[in-house]
C-alpha cells in the first residue's frame, strides 16, 4: 500500500476506536479482514499511527483545532511522526488517499505547540483526571504525563533458572537488546518504529528456550521488592498470566513453594505454558474452583504478593486507548477491589511474614491510600522500606538502587514512572506482620 491509502485506513480505524469504543487491536484486526490487499507491514504502520494519535490526542486536537479522526491522524503525522507539510501533501495526492489538505489544516500542521495550554492538554490525559495527576505529581503533572504519551520500550528479564545474563547476551543481539541500566539480569530494547515492521520477540530462539521473559523493568523491580528467598512459602494472590510468579520463582532458585492464585481461572491457564518454558518446578496453581486449597494456606505464608487489579494508568504508553476509556466509576470500583483483596490476602501471611502490594497505576487513590487504609484497619502490619527491600534482593544495579531510593515516598513505598525511570508506572509497598 502507498502512504495515502494507509492514512485513509488509519482514519477509518481511529473512527472505529472512538465511535464504537473498540480497542485499537480489534479495530485494526477488523480493518485487516476487510482490506485483504494490506500486508503485515501496512497493518503495523496503520496501527502504529492510530496508537500515536491516541497517545497525543488532546495536544493534537488542540494544535489542529479539530478532534475528528481525520484531524487527529493528520496531526499525528506532523506532531508525533515529525512529517513535514510537503511529505503529508505528497501522500494526500496519492491514489486512495483522503481528500487533500484544507487551508486550515495546512496552517495548523505547521504550528508550534502551545505552552499556555492546560496541563491535561499538554500532557494528553482526560480532563477529569487533572486533580488526580496534580495530587501525585504537582506542577510536574504535564511533563510526567508527556513521558507516558510516547511509545514504550521493551524490557526482557533473563530467566536465571536456565541461563545467566552473560550467556543470554549473544542470542539477544538480533533483537537489538542492550543490558538494562537498572537491573543486573535484564535487557532493554528501545521502542520500535511502527513503520519498520520487525520480527516479534516471541520468535527469537532465546524466548522459546525460556531464557528470557518479556517483563517491564518496573514490574521486575516491584517483584524484586518481594526479595523472595529460596525455601520460602509464597502466595502470588493475583497471579494472572504469571509475570510476577515467574520472577519470584527465579529469585527462589527452585527451592521452596510458590502458590499461584487468581480469581480468574482462565488467566491462570495462560501460566501453564509459561511455567513449562521457564523450567520453574516449584509453582503450584491454586484454581478458584478449589477454594479449600487456598484456605489451607491461611496464616502459613512467608510472603504474599498482591499484584492488584488496577486502572493500569502506568501502562498508558502501551495502551493509549485505555487512557481515554477510563471513567471515574472504574477507578472507584478498582479501589473497592483493592481494599477487599488486601484484607483477604493478608490472612495468608504468617507472623513475621510480609505482604507486598503492587499496582501498575500511579494514582494515589489506588496506591498510598489503599495501603494506609489497610494499615489503619490491621495494626499488626507495619510498612517497611520498599526501596531497601528491592536493593536487598541483589537484582538492582547501582543506578537502579539510586533510582528506587530517589523515588521512595515518606512511608517507604516506591513509585516509578516513565519519566523517572523509563519504566511503566509502578507502585510497590512492603508490609510486615508482627
Ligand X SMILES: C[S@@+](CC[C@H](N)C(=O)[O-])C[C@H]1O[C@@H](n2cnc3c(N)ncnc32)[C@H](O)[C@@H]1O
Binding site for S-adenosyl-L-methionine, residues? 262, 307
Residue 267 interacting with ligand X (CB under 6 A) = yes
Does 337 interact with ligand X (rule: CB under 6 A)? yes
Closer CB to ligand X, 146 or 215, in the complex: 215
Q: Is there binding between residue 218 and ligand X (CB under 6 A)? A: no
181 binds ligand X (CB under 6 A): no
Shortest Å distance, C-beta 177 to ligand X = 21
Say whether 360 is catalytic. Answer: yes
Instruction: Return d(Cα 317, Cα 15) in angstroms, integer.
Output: 20
Strands 154-158 and 257-261: unpaired
Residue with smaller CB distance to ligand X, 52 or 307: 307
Q: Which three cell numbers stand for residue 213?
A: 521473559
Q: Which of 105, 213, 262, 302 binds ligand X (CB under 6 A)?
A: 262
Question: Using CB atoms within 10 A of its CB, is residue 192 exposed (0-12), middle (13-18) or buried (19+)?
Answer: middle
CB of 236 to ligand X, least distance (A): 7
User: How many residues bind ligand X, per CB under 6 A?
Assistant: 16
Q: Does 260 bind ligand X (CB under 6 A)?
A: no
The footprint of ligand X on residues 64-123 (CB under 6 A) is none
425 near ligand X (CB under 6 A): no
For residue 64, give the nearest of 75, 80, 50 by alpha carbon: 75
Q: Does 343 bind ligand X (CB under 6 A)?
A: no
Min dist. Cβ of residue 294 to ligand X (A): 10
Which of 123, 243, 314, 425 touches ligand X (CB under 6 A)? 243
Quick note: the x/- pattern for ligand X over 296-325, rule CB under 6 A, is -----------x-x----------------
* Dist CA 162 CA 35 (whole Å): 43
Q: Which residues of 376-410 are buried (b: 16+ CB within 10 A; e: fewer)?
A: eebeebebbbbbbbbbebebbeeebbebbeebbbe
- Contact positions vs ligand X (CB under 6 A): 237-244, 262-264, 267, 307, 309, 337, 341
Active site residues: 360
Amino acid at each position: 500500500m502507498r502512504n495515502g491509502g494507509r492514512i485513509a485506513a488509519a482514519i477509518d480505524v481511529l473512527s472505529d476506536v472512538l465511535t464504537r469504543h473498540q480497542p485499537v487491536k480489534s479495530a485494526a484486526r477488523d480493518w485487516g479482514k476487510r482490506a485483504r490487499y494490506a500486508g503485515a507491514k501496512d497493518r503495523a504502520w496503520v496501527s502504529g499511527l492510530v496508537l500515536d494519535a491516541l497517545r497525543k490526542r488532546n495536544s493534537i486536537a488542540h494544535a489542529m483545532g479539530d478532534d475528528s479522526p481525520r484531524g487527529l491522524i493528520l496531526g499525528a503525522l506532523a506532531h508525533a511522526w515529525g512529517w513535514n507539510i510537503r511529505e503529508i501533501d505528497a501522500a494526500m495526492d496519492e491514489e486512495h488517499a483522503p481528500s487533500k489538505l484544507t487551508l486550515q489544516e495546512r496552517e495548523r500542521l505547521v504550528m508550534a505547540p502551545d505552552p499556555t495550554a492546560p496541563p491535561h492538554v499538554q500532557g494528553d490525559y482526560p480532563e477529569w483526571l487533572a486533580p488526580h495527576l496534580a495530587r501525585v505529581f504537582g506542577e510536574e503533572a504535564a511533563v510526567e504525563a508527556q513521558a507516558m504519551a510516547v511509545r514504550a520500550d521493551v524490557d526482557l528479564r533473563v530467566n536465571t533458572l536456565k541461563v545467566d545474563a552473560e550467556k543470554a547476551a549473544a542470542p539477544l543481539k538480533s533483537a537489538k537488546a542492550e543490558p538494562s541500566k537498572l537491573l543486573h539480569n535484564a535487557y532493554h530494547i528501545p521502542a520500535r518504529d511502527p513503520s519498520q515492521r520487525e520480527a516479534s520477540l516471541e520468535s527469537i530462539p532465546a524466548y522459546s528456550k525460556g531464557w528470557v521473559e518479556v517483563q517491564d523493568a518496573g514490574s521486575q523491580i516491584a517483584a524484586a521488592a518481594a526479595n523472595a528467598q529460596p525455601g520460602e512459602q509464597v502466595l502470588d494472590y493475583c497471579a494472572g498470566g504469571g509475570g510476577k510468579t515467574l520472577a519470584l520463582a527465579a529469585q527462589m532458585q527452585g527451592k521452596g513453594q510458590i502458590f499461584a492464585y487468581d480469581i480468574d481461572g482462565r488467566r491462570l491457564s495462560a501460566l501453564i505454558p509459561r511455567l513449562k518454558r521457564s523450567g520453574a518446578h516449584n509453582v503450584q496453581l491454586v484454581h478458584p474452583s478449589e477454594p479449600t486449597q487456598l484456605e489451607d494456606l491461611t496464616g502459613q505464608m512467608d510472603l504474599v504478593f498482591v499484584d492488584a487489579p488496577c486502572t493500569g494508568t502506568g501502562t498508558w504508553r502501551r495502551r493509549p486507548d485505555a487512557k481515554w476509556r477510563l471513567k471515574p466509576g472504574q477507578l472507584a470500583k478498582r479501589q473497592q477491589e483493592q481494599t477487599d483483596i488486601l484484607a483477604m490476602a493478608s490472612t495468608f501471611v504468617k507472623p513475621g511474614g510480609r505482604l507486598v502490594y503492587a499496582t501498575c497505576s500511579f494514582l494515589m487513590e489506588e496506591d498510598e491510600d489503599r495501603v494506609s487504609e489497610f494499615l489503619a484497619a490491621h495494626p499488626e502490619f507495619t510498612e517497611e522500606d520498599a526501596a531497601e527491600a528491592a536493593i536487598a534482593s541483589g537484582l538492582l544495579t547501582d543506578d537502579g538502587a539510586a533510582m528506587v531510593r530517589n523515588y521512595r515516598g515518606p512511608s517507604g513505598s516506591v513509585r516509578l514512572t516513565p519519566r523517572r525511570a523509563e519504566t511503566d508506572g509502578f507502585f510497590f509497598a512492603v508490609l510486615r506482620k508482627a
